[in-house]
Structure 1
């Protein structure tokens, strides 16, 4: 009986041990795959975190590049359209204060965002520094304001002429001795023109201009040899003032400046003969002796007296910090009839006048010193042939000495007084006898 009980107990212990070992084996087998899966998941998470950090760094760099490119685009747009951004865009200002990144990355995204915003602001400040002075130069050279809806400009121009000629009235004796009168004729002329100009921008590429001038002229005539003495001078003067010839023009921007071509504006204009015409003005003898001849006009003209049409084009190319510009134009004068074209006070001669076509061109360079000031230097030339007169029913006759070639060297200074007002000063120096000795111009455009 005892042996049976002992055998039964041993068998039960073996069975229970075998069951426990089997259960332990099953637990061990089930635990090993779980641990492997957990380790794999941790490795995947670490890899994703690393990739995310790399993407964050790359994103920060791309944001910085985008802001720099955006600043460059705004700089070009401000030069072309005349807009002056003075502060960062709202989105840019917000992004400089808010960071979309979490802390703990290799590079500090908030610092990168701040640097990017600072780069953008610096580029915009640079654009603002150049855009106002550049805009003033562009608008002055193209005679068109496309960025402002309406501009009222007041121009004051002073011209001075001084011409002296030696006149010999006699003959040479023995091919060496001059017998006769030696006279010196000198003409000094001063003119002051006040132009009131209105410019209206219909579209960003189309504008119209209206120029209403008021002219005042004073001419002094001197003649040597009065009374038969070359040392004696006879002097008289003549004046004239009034409305000049009104001009209306249309400006159209046919090409916008790119890296390879300039800003190009086409101008079509017409000039009405609203001023005092020079034809039919009588010349009277004012000599101190009845045996001499010294004639001067009774008054000075303020206009050309004929209708004129203008076709011109201007070109401007910005090359920081310089601005290169040029223009070329053609003026055609239409034939016009007058009731009197004779200068003799006792003669009335109806007839027609035909002025020669005028060709002009110019080129120059300007430098923008800062956001307000710029300096320019340019050369301009104006060429025309001989004018013609014709009495009614007669042939055309060329007017001797009416052809001209007026070349001028110009120095200009532009300064912005306020966001709406600019003052422009131009000094012109005549380089040929047909050009004024010097010209001084003051322009004050007020931009609405």
Structure 2
């Protein structure tokens, strides 16, 4: 009889299927024992711990609860110089130079709970608490007199609570990949960009801790075990729901705001070093559409709709994992931004631990 396969939790939360061929029993004279009768049908093997919700994965077994404390640090630095004026020669510019230096840091502590409701269905809830700070300096030259504008902002509060469901579509037998259907909902429990305090001119006095808009994200995850590795891919679409703000921001009245939807793609490979440790290498990319905002002029009553630019957020994924025991593991993930719109670095520490509840 074949031995049961062993699952190892990866740093990105992806679960690799490990196993080896069983040794054949022998008779006393060394001849192998021949099998008698029919081989029993192959049984479906469920892993012990669910994968990271961002990428999906093979689900938590029925009756098992996984609690995952998480701490995430994100850093973004922007250095930009612009020129408005006339170029007479390649070495002679007449106009205004503006230099901007911006540093953003975000600290998020969250607790995620995942429950195996059945062997095919898993339910998830994530509660984050967010602290953000931002420092910026804008220098304007070629004006009389030149000036510097320094600003420091911060904000901290409950972030956007998320709810998700994951359903395993197939059994993944005979070397076939696993297909996981995911559905995620993000609430507006955090302070959005139109909920924060502003002065009479509309300048923010603090930073938001949430997006301010409801969103729904269906996605499909594919996992292909190939011992000692597992290949993964995820494709999803984020529907950011339109909302009527109906608030004044400085001298402008904001009406309906339609955030741009996003296409999310990720893929990579998780590789087992030994039964306790593993590493992951991957890539993810978010293609975010334009945000459309409707403005009203209180004096004339005229309205205008403006659109922002599209965003391309791409990052390399690196991960490490160590399994302390059957119930507890330590996962460390690193994201390195490789597009202009992506944060420079995101460092994430997770310590999931599981328990049987029914």
How many angstroms apart in 1 are the aligned matches of 2:90 and 2:200?
A: 33
Residue 364 of structure 1 is matched in structure 2 by 268
The structural deviation recorded for 1:214 is: 0.9
Q: Quick check: 142-151 or 214-223, which moved more?
A: 142-151
Conservation of the 8 A alpha-carbon contact between 2:68 and 2:352: yes
Judge conservation of contact 2:68–2:353 (CA < 8 Å) in 1. Answer: yes
Name the structure 1 match of 2:5.
Answer: 75
TM-score normalized with structure 1 length: 0.65
Q: Which residue of 2 aligns with 1:168?
A: 83
Structure 1 residues 277 and 218, CA gap change in structure 2 (3 angstroms):
same
> Do the aligned residues in 2 keep the contact of 1:137 with 1:374 (CA within 8 Å)?
no
Which residue pairs with 1:355 in the alignment? 259
Q: Distance between the aligned counterparts of 1:244 and 1:407, measured in 2? A: 23
Alignment of 1:47-86 (within 5 A): 70-72=1-3, 74-75=4-5
> Alpha carbons of 1:309 and 1:360: their partners in 2 closer, same or farther (altered >3 Å)?
same
Alpha carbons 1:154, 1:197 under 8 Å: kept = yes
CA deviation vs aligned residue, 1:311-346 (integer Å, no higher than 9, x gap): 01111111111110110111101111123152x2xx
In 2 relative to 1, CA 374–407 (structure 1 residues): closer, same or farther, beyond 3 Å?
same
User: By how many angstroms is 1:233 displaced?
Assistant: 4.3
For the Cα contact (< 8 Å) 1:182–1:230, is it kept in 2? no
Q: SS in structure 2 opposite 1:256?
A: coil
Match of residue 71, structure 2, among 110, 134, 156: 156
Structure 1 residues 83, 282: CA separation in 2 closer, same or farther (over 3 Å shift)? closer
Alignment of 1:135-284 (within 5 A): 138=51, 141-142=55-56, 145-147=59-61, 149-173=64-88, 177-225=92-140, 228=143, 233-279=148-194, 281=196
Bigger radius of gyration among the two: 1
More strand as a share of residues: 2
Q: How does 1:402-421 map to 2 (within 5 A)?
A: 403-421=310-328
- Going from structure 1 to structure 2, the CA distance change for 1:275 and 1:212 (only over 3 Å counts) comes to same
Structure with larger RCO (C-alpha < 8 A, sep 6+):
2
Q: Which residue of 2 aligns with 1:309?
A: 216
Structure-2 change in CA distance of 1:242 and 1:201 (3 Å) = same
> Of the candidates 96, 108, 121, which is equivalent to residue 28 of structure 2?
108
Q: Which residue number in structure 2 is paired with residue 378 of structure 1? A: 282
Distance 1:314 1:256 in 2: 14
Please, what TM-score do these two structures have when normalized by structure 2?
0.81
After TM superposition, give the deviation of residue 142 of structure 1 in Å: 2.0
Question: 1:78/1:239 Cα in 2 relative to 1: closer, same or farther (>3 Å)?
Answer: closer
Supply the distance in 1 between the matched residues of 2:142 and 2:285 (Cα, whole angstroms). 41
Q: How far did residue 382 of structure 1 move?
A: 0.3
Pairwise CA RMSD: 3.7
Q: Which residues of structure 1 form unaligned runs of 5+?
A: 1-69, 89-95, 100-106, 117-130, 287-294
Q: Measure the CA separation in 2 of the matches of 1:137 and 1:271.
A: 20
The answer to whether the 8 A contact 1:138-1:316 is kept is: no
Pick which of 309-318 and 143-152 moved more. 143-152
8 Å CA contact 2:218, 2:237 repeated in 1: yes
Matched residue of 2:169: which SS?
A: strand
Per-residue displacement from partner, 1:21-56 (whole Å, max 9, x unpaired)? xxxxxxxxxxxxxxxxxxxxxxxxxxxxxxxxxxxx
